Structure 1
Amino acid sequence: MQRFILSKKNHIMTISIILIVIGFVSKLVFKNQMIAICSLAIASVLGVLPIAIQAVQALKVKVISIDVLVTIAVIGAFLIKNLEESAIVTFLFLFGSFLEQRTLNKTRSAIKELTEMAPESALKLMENGEFEEVEVDEVDVGDVLLVKTGSKIPVDGTVLAGEGYVNEASITGESVPVSKKKDSGVYAGTILENGTIQIIANRVGEDTTFGRIIELVEEAQDSKSEAERFIDRFSKYYTPAVLVLAFMVWLIIRDVEIAITILVLGCPGALVIGVPVSNVAGIGNGARHGVLLKGSEIISDFSKVDTIVFDKTGTLTIGNPKVIDKEVYGGNTEKVLSYLASVEKESDHPLAKAIVEYIGDTTLYTVEKTDVVKGSGIVAYVDGHRVAVGNVSLMVKENVPLSEKAKADISSFQERGNSLVLTAVDGELKVLMGIRDQIREGVKEDLQKLKKLGVKNLVVLSGDNQGTVDLVAKELGLTETHENMLPEDKAAYIEKLIAKGQIVAFVGDGVNDSPSLVLAQVGIAMGGGTDVAIETSDVVLMNSDFSRLPHALGLAKATARNMRQNIIIAVGVIVILLASVFLSEWMNMTIGMLAHEGSILVVIFNGMRLLRYKLKY
């Protein structure tokens, strides 16, 4: 029976709030005391059942938990026939428990999602010289594997033969595929977008970079789940103290009524309600402003953050490469762009998509004799002309002369962090395009707001090259930059900052960000990022709107401040009430409960102020 009741806690919570609403409406609107009393009594009894069961279980192992505290508060309310308080206390406690459990379940599911993303099979070179599909667990270090277009790379290894482009977003977070050829390193969990390669396995199973990501997430979640809440620590000493005080008074003066009064006045209704009200109001405000805050512990940690570490791609930048710079050489530019669009239209490479989007509607020609030059680009015949589209290496292979101006433009484009695409027609350079990810609009102003909110260090960690990262850092005024970082490097850096005593928040959006999101005291995910990043994070910025971050931090600070205010109010009222029992002649249970209820209303209204919170700058 106990197991059944505990399994229905959420159902009981829902029924309780319905009964509470019925009770108050009956009492205040229809003046029907009977229905009000019955509704609130049933809500109180239903609500206290799972709490009392947990209290008894805790006492069996000699632990005076928050459940014991709440159970005493409800019993005290029943003794003075204050059904409103008992009903509200039980509901809010169950609701807080619901929020905590929901967050825990989501973070646990993240490990499962990561595991499901791992490659399951591989094409292994057998003794007969043929490649056969085997389970990834059957691959050992030193085995030779074949990876085809569209397949996941099953291990960390080195390319032995072949060329292609690999999407390494799951590891580095970068959206632009990376060219791979002989002796290039590859990572498990990444995807070969085009080409065919043979690799030799260097690290397999849990030793791969992807396996390490999963391990880091598991370790970080285990360490974070051990955090205790303030109320639990407080009740460990407070609850037995009140019980002992009431019992000692009864032993000394043999006055049962005063002993019960002490017990009732000592029941921390405002304390139990005050923190959840602040928490729920803060979470509600965040939801209305596109910010998901996952619980009171997160809010408390977030409010103390002094260092925010950012992943670059998809966080500070949009994560969608676009043509930013262009130079043309010679005339007939419109026709050249039509040739370029015709060639790139047939490719699914992100850079090709960016070029097609940039050129827009134009005349398209039939493309013939297409030759893909691995790691360099494409050569094709369009409208009777030989068109070469690719990097500088392709221009060299095609013997395309580069003028001094073109060389200067190439150098300038590279300094600005561009990926280069050159187009030559019949051996003459016609167009140079620079493609790069764009910084999110308004990010610089948002970073300034974070500084005003007390953030001292703004750091960017990226798997991208130094030139690109330095460009972003210079434009945004970041404190530190670190480039060419793998997930384990980012996680190690986060641990280093925490070891120095800094309170760290990490902002990211990719699978590769998951370890850092969980290792940081506060993990913040862009809502448009991967599901794993969102599930492992503590704060989610919905729709990947970076401008919500300053509001989220300001709201966390306001909520934490509000919680402290409510705790001070609740504890202060209890101290005054208990002191008045001994130091005054006018204090009795009725007056005490009026003050008691007043303190509950004060903390509720104080908490509700958070619903109207807006960042002032």
Structure 2
Amino acid sequence: MKNWKTWGVVGVSGLLIIASWILGATAGGTVAGELSADALMIAAAAVAGYPIAVSAWQALRIRMISIDLLVVVAAVGALFINNYWESAAVTFLFALGKALERATMNRTRKALSDLVDSAPETATKLNEDGSTDTVELWELIPGDIVLVRNGEQVPVDGKVISGHGGVDEASITGESVPAEKAEGSEVFAGTWLRSGVLRVEAVGIGADSTLAKIIHRVEDAQDDKARTQTFMEKFAKWYTPGVMLAALLVGVFSQNVELALTLLVIGCPGALVISIPVSIVAGIGRSAKDGVLIKGGEYLETSAKVDAVVVDKTGTLTNGRPELTDVTVLDDAYTEGEVLALAARAETASEHPLADAIIRGAEDRGLKVELVEKAQPVMGKGIRAQVDGREVVVGSAELLDHTPAEEQILQLNDQGKTAMYVGVDGRAIGVVAVADTIRADAPAAIRALQDKGIKVVMATGDARLVALNVGAELGLDEIHAEMMPEDKLELVKELQARGHTVAMVGDGVNDTPALAQADIGVAMGAAGSPAAIETADIALMADRLPRLPYALGLAKRTVRTMRFNIGIALLTVAVLLAGVLLGGVTMSIGMLVHEASVLLVIAIAMLLLRPTLREEMPVAQSMVAEREMLEV
């Protein structure tokens, strides 16, 4: 209804103007014809001008002189000097510009409306007797089991208790490839099951779901004002009365009312005022569609200035869990597979985190890993186990009868790996090593950040040797190891003291002090953390490091767009002012150019809505393939 009224006013006013032209052209210069044509033109001005006058009055009631008041004064003044066409043209073009502006702003908010539209309304509840009922979301409670079939929408946040399938999570994480889900996996409301069938235990329902929190966050972010926008609004608050005073003085001293009214029209700062909010809405909307939540306009501006990023190692640059990296044979009587199989069988009796890495490494290579008959963990040294009647040990040299050569162990340790001897009946037969491996997408992400002129600093609590090896492989600019949370805080302060604008990527727990101190706090993999969605300045919904350079790059593009649009708005006013002083620019031409500039800055801002997410996945995939070849 509101859209119909807006465009209805524009349509009726436009038809009245056309009717006036036709009547003026066909009346043959008769007095009655000219009067009728003028009456239609006045009617056109009244139809288009009434909503503008109402808006101006509402602004005056709260003691604000708005752009609408400039237009109303100019239009009424034109009527008093019998310039009916100028009055109708000014009001019609302004109304048309407002309608187009509203339509394009709605387009820039499409990312938010898409999120709202993706919210599910019903669910298939699975009853205890195995029957199903279609229920409204508000009828569900945490712990209920819902059934999701192929092609259906996941109605709740929850955990998969049975089933297997591929879930399209683009609305939450921005990922284009469906995520494989099985028992124990997390799923989110608003996503779509593209294959399989899932039974899901409800955890977050309706307003408690991740989707609802994202919608709330994007709503707040798009309404949040950047520092530049706040400044421009304060500027416009004084600028508009200044334009009216200048026009009054020009009219008094020049005795040219039409010139004064023309100055009112060309002085409208519409493009100046709209240039920033439309850019912010478009930038934040685009990033939300790609699974990056930015807290608001102020944080968008700050992100554009970031020139130093502090990142943790474990789980950010690395995979966050140890993996088998090396198997070395020390006794020619054994093959590499036999050494690994014996080590894996011995570790089945161990609860140490490194044991799981060795077992998984053996299974990944197709080796059968059976439970040992008998085992005894040795505190701080490793484990002894009985395997097929032989004593197998995995751990330090102290578990062996004969001290083997330490060259292999020292070489692997120097690479930041944890190396262990594998022994049979007191004699070393091989060495196995494990390490927290670098994420496949980390090198591309680091290169992307550095290509943007951003310093990448690693701050980790891990051992210095491990940190140095990871930092060297990734080509980091600074490496800080064995750091406590308070040390990370001091590092951020030091970087800021050096003049850097710092973004901190952390887990939000141990890194809380540093995250709070940093100019921008970044949470990665925030889809599973409602707290991170609410508190982080930038929340990367997917656990993908390349989203960070993308987010910072989008922030820079948005700020460049804002500045470019401000330049266009100021240049337009300057050119029009010169045109008025030199002659040739009328009220109608001034309003036409003014509205064209408004639409131009909106169109430029809308370029931010184009998909630009590139994550260098071919590079990451080639690295994975290369590592697999080396392991074979």
What's the TM-score once normalised by structure 2's chain length?
0.60
What secondary structure sits across from 2:437 in the alignment? coil
Relative to structure 1, is the Cα distance of residues 576 and 228 closer, same or farther in structure 2, using a 3 angstrom cutoff?
same
Query: 2:354 matched to which residue of 1?
Result: 351
What secondary structure sits across from 1:378 in the alignment? strand
Query: 1:110 matched to which residue of 2?
Result: none
Q: Matches of 2:379 and 2:489 in 1, distance apart? A: 34
What secondary structure sits across from 2:542 in the alignment? helix
Tell me if the contact between 1:509 and 1:528 (Cα under 8 Å) persists in the aligned partners.
Answer: no
Tell me if the contact between 2:104 and 2:602 (Cα under 8 Å) persists in the aligned partners.
Answer: no
Query: 2:299 matched to which residue of 1?
Result: 298
Once the two structures are TM-superposed, the CA of residue 562 in structure 1 deviates from its matched residue by: 1.4
Could you give the per-residue CA deviations for residues 462-496 of structure 1, whole angstroms, max 9, x where no partner exists? Answer: 11111011112222222211111122211221112
Query: 2:537 matched to which residue of 1?
Result: 538
Once the two structures are TM-superposed, the CA of residue 369 in structure 1 deviates from its matched residue by: 4.3
Once the two structures are TM-superposed, the CA of residue 90 in structure 1 deviates from its matched residue by: 6.6
Tell me if the contact between 1:419 and 1:436 (Cα under 8 Å) persists in the aligned partners.
Answer: yes
Which residue of 237, 245, 260 maps to 2:235? 237
Relative to structure 1, is the Cα distance of residues 471 and 336 closer, same or farther in structure 2, using a 3 angstrom cutoff?
closer
Q: Matches of 1:73 and 1:366 in 2, distance apart? A: 85
What secondary structure sits across from 2:321 in the alignment? coil
Query: 1:8 matched to which residue of 2?
Result: none
Once the two structures are TM-superposed, the CA of residue 20 in structure 1 deviates from its matched residue by: 7.2
Q: Matches of 2:70 and 2:544 in 1, distance apart? A: 43
Matched, 1:384 2:389: yes
Tell me if the contact between 2:74 and 2:264 (Cα under 8 Å) persists in the aligned partners.
Answer: no
Larger Rg: 2
Tell me if the contact between 1:524 and 1:541 (Cα under 8 Å) persists in the aligned partners.
Answer: yes
Query: 2:376 matched to which residue of 1?
Result: 371
Relative to structure 1, is the Cα distance of residues 32 and 592 closer, same or farther in structure 2, using a 3 angstrom cutoff?
closer
Query: 1:313 matched to which residue of 2?
Result: 314
Tell me if the contact between 1:73 and 1:269 (Cα under 8 Å) persists in the aligned partners.
Answer: no
| Paired AA for residue 434 in structure 2 | I
Query: 1:459 matched to which residue of 2?
Result: 457
Query: 2:593 matched to which residue of 1?
Result: 595
Count of aligned pairs between the two proteins: 451
Once the two structures are TM-superposed, the CA of residue 528 in structure 1 deviates from its matched residue by: 6.1
What secondary structure sits across from 1:314 in the alignment? coil
Once the two structures are TM-superposed, the CA of residue 428 in structure 1 deviates from its matched residue by: 2.8
Q: Matches of 2:517 and 2:357 in 1, distance apart? A: 35
| Paired AA for residue 393 in structure 2 | A
Tell me if the contact between 1:76 and 1:264 (Cα under 8 Å) persists in the aligned partners.
Answer: no
Matched, 1:471 2:469: yes
| Paired AA for residue 362 in structure 2 | I
Question: Which ranges of structure 1 fall in alignment gaps of 5 or more residues?
Answer: 1-14, 101-225
Matched, 1:325 2:326: yes
Which residue of 585, 605, 608 maps to 1:607? 605
Q: Matches of 2:573 and 2:495 in 1, distance apart? A: 41
Tell me if the contact between 1:385 and 1:425 (Cα under 8 Å) persists in the aligned partners.
Answer: yes
Relative to structure 1, is the Cα distance of residues 400 and 32 closer, same or farther in structure 2, using a 3 angstrom cutoff?
farther
Q: Matches of 2:602 and 2:535 in 1, distance apart? A: 31
What secondary structure sits across from 2:523 in the alignment? strand
Could you give the per-residue CA deviations for residues 100-130 of structure 1, whole angstroms, max 9, x where no partner exists? Answer: 9xxxxxxxxxxxxxxxxxxxxxxxxxxxxxx
Once the two structures are TM-superposed, the CA of residue 415 in structure 1 deviates from its matched residue by: 0.6
Tell me if the contact between 2:225 and 2:296 (Cα under 8 Å) persists in the aligned partners.
Answer: no
Could you give the per-residue CA deviations for residues 344-390 of structure 1, whole angstroms, max 9, x where no partner exists? Answer: 3455543222112110044444434443434443333343333333x
Question: Which ranges of structure 2 fall in alignment gaps of 5 or more residues?
Answer: 18-43, 76-89, 113-223, 617-632
Query: 1:268 matched to which residue of 2?
Result: 269
Tell me if the contact between 2:392 and 2:424 (Cα under 8 Å) persists in the aligned partners.
Answer: yes
Tell me if the contact between 1:459 and 1:481 (Cα under 8 Å) persists in the aligned partners.
Answer: yes
| Paired AA for residue 562 in structure 2 | M
Relative to structure 1, is the Cα distance of residues 25 and 286 closer, same or farther in structure 2, using a 3 angstrom cutoff?
farther
Matched, 1:517 2:515: yes
What secondary structure sits across from 2:510 in the alignment? helix
Tell me if the contact between 2:310 and 2:457 (Cα under 8 Å) persists in the aligned partners.
Answer: yes
Once the two structures are TM-superposed, the CA of residue 257 in structure 1 deviates from its matched residue by: 7.4
Tell me if the contact between 1:514 and 1:533 (Cα under 8 Å) persists in the aligned partners.
Answer: no
Q: Matches of 1:543 and 1:282 in 2, distance apart? A: 19
Q: Matches of 2:227 and 2:295 in 1, distance apart? A: 14
Tell me if the contact between 1:506 and 1:523 (Cα under 8 Å) persists in the aligned partners.
Answer: yes
Relative to structure 1, is the Cα distance of residues 448 and 260 closer, same or farther in structure 2, using a 3 angstrom cutoff?
same
Q: Matches of 1:364 and 1:86 in 2, distance apart? A: 71
Relative to structure 1, is the Cα distance of residues 372 and 267 closer, same or farther in structure 2, using a 3 angstrom cutoff?
farther
Tell me if the contact between 2:328 and 2:431 (Cα under 8 Å) persists in the aligned partners.
Answer: yes
What secondary structure sits across from 1:590 in the alignment? helix
| Paired AA for residue 458 in structure 2 | V
Tell me if the contact between 1:242 and 1:263 (Cα under 8 Å) persists in the aligned partners.
Answer: no
Relative to structure 1, is the Cα distance of residues 366 and 293 closer, same or farther in structure 2, using a 3 angstrom cutoff?
closer
| Paired AA for residue 552 in structure 1 | A
Q: Matches of 1:74 and 1:87 in 2, distance apart? A: 15
Query: 2:561 matched to which residue of 1?
Result: 562
Query: 2:345 matched to which residue of 1?
Result: 342
Could you give the per-residue CA deviations for residues 571-611 of structure 1, whole angstroms, max 9, x where no partner exists? Answer: 22234445555x25543432222111110121122222333
Which residue of 469, 490, 505 maps to 1:492? 490
C-alpha RMSD of the superposition: 4.6
| Paired AA for residue 440 in structure 2 | E
Q: Matches of 1:242 and 1:431 in 2, distance apart? A: 82
Q: Matches of 2:404 and 2:349 in 1, distance apart? A: 30
What's the TM-score once normalised by structure 1's chain length?
0.61
Once the two structures are TM-superposed, the CA of residue 497 in structure 1 deviates from its matched residue by: 1.2
Tell me if the contact between 1:419 and 1:434 (Cα under 8 Å) persists in the aligned partners.
Answer: yes
Query: 1:507 matched to which residue of 2?
Result: 505
Query: 1:448 matched to which residue of 2?
Result: 447
Once the two structures are TM-superposed, the CA of residue 244 in structure 1 deviates from its matched residue by: 3.7
Relative to structure 1, is the Cα distance of residues 27 and 249 closer, same or farther in structure 2, using a 3 angstrom cutoff?
closer
Tell me if the contact between 2:71 and 2:91 (Cα under 8 Å) persists in the aligned partners.
Answer: no
Tell me if the contact between 1:20 and 1:87 (Cα under 8 Å) persists in the aligned partners.
Answer: no
Q: Matches of 1:21 and 1:410 in 2, distance apart? A: 79
Q: Matches of 1:311 and 1:495 in 2, distance apart? A: 16
Could you give the per-residue CA deviations for residues 40-94 of structure 1, whole angstroms, max 9, x where no partner exists? Answer: 99xx89x979x969x977x6xxxx7xxx767868988999253344456678889
Matched, 1:246 2:244: yes
Q: Matches of 2:246 and 2:586 in 1, distance apart? A: 19
Tell me if the contact between 1:534 and 1:540 (Cα under 8 Å) persists in the aligned partners.
Answer: yes
Query: 2:40 matched to which residue of 1?
Result: none
Residues 40-119 of structure 1: matches in 2 within 5 Å?
80=91, 82-87=94-99
Q: Matches of 1:379 and 1:70 in 2, distance apart? A: 83
Tell me if the contact between 2:300 and 2:555 (Cα under 8 Å) persists in the aligned partners.
Answer: yes
Q: Matches of 2:68 and 2:418 in 1, distance apart? A: 64
| Paired AA for residue 354 in structure 1 | A
Say which is worse superposed, 557-566 or 505-514, in terms of deviation.
505-514
| Paired AA for residue 432 in structure 1 | V
Residues 15-30 of structure 1: matches in 2 within 5 Å?
19=3, 23=7
Q: Matches of 1:357 and 1:24 in 2, distance apart? A: 68
Once the two structures are TM-superposed, the CA of residue 337 in structure 1 deviates from its matched residue by: 3.7
| Paired AA for residue 80 in structure 1 | T
Residues 141-220 of structure 1: matches in 2 within 5 Å?
none
Q: Percent identity?
A: 37
Relative to structure 1, is the Cα distance of residues 593 and 325 closer, same or farther in structure 2, using a 3 angstrom cutoff?
same
| Paired AA for residue 390 in structure 2 | H
| Paired AA for residue 495 in structure 1 | K
